[in-house]
Amino acid sequence: QVQLVESGGGLVKAGESLRLSCIASGGSVSMLAMGWFRQAPGKEREIVAAISGSGGSTSYADSVKGRFTISRDNAENTVYLQMNSLKPEDTAVYYCAAEWGGNVQDLTKLRASYWGQGTQVTVSS
């Protein structure tokens, strides 16, 4: 019954920043591990970042570590992805996803029960 809605994508220049938001409804956010995935044309979907239900544990893809930060505000039913120092290779459709249990490992294995509709991020050189 969980529904996820992403927003915040857009067109930016290399080196600039974007902040993606994912609002969850229909479930207890604290019981859900949540994460961000992305998929570029011709490439497989990959995990970008994940966060545990409580927010106490996070995981990042090597390609974004140090540049991206995932966070959550359970009181507002929202998960964020702050993306700094964006590169053209970050261009993709970004999807919010969630899985019961609160474990980031589920999402790093691309296991998720719920998915958002995606938001386009385009980084120009």
Query: What local confidence, expressed as pLDDT, does residue 111 receive?
Result: 85
Query: What local confidence, expressed as pLDDT, does residue 60 receive?
Result: 97
Query: What local confidence, expressed as pLDDT, does residue 8 receive?
Result: 97
The alpha helices in the chain, defined as continuous H runs, are 104-108
Low-confidence ranges of the chain (pLDDT < 70): none
Query: What local confidence, expressed as pLDDT, does residue 30 receive?
Result: 87
User: Considering only CA atoms, which of 24, 33, 20 is closest in space to residue 102?
Assistant: 33
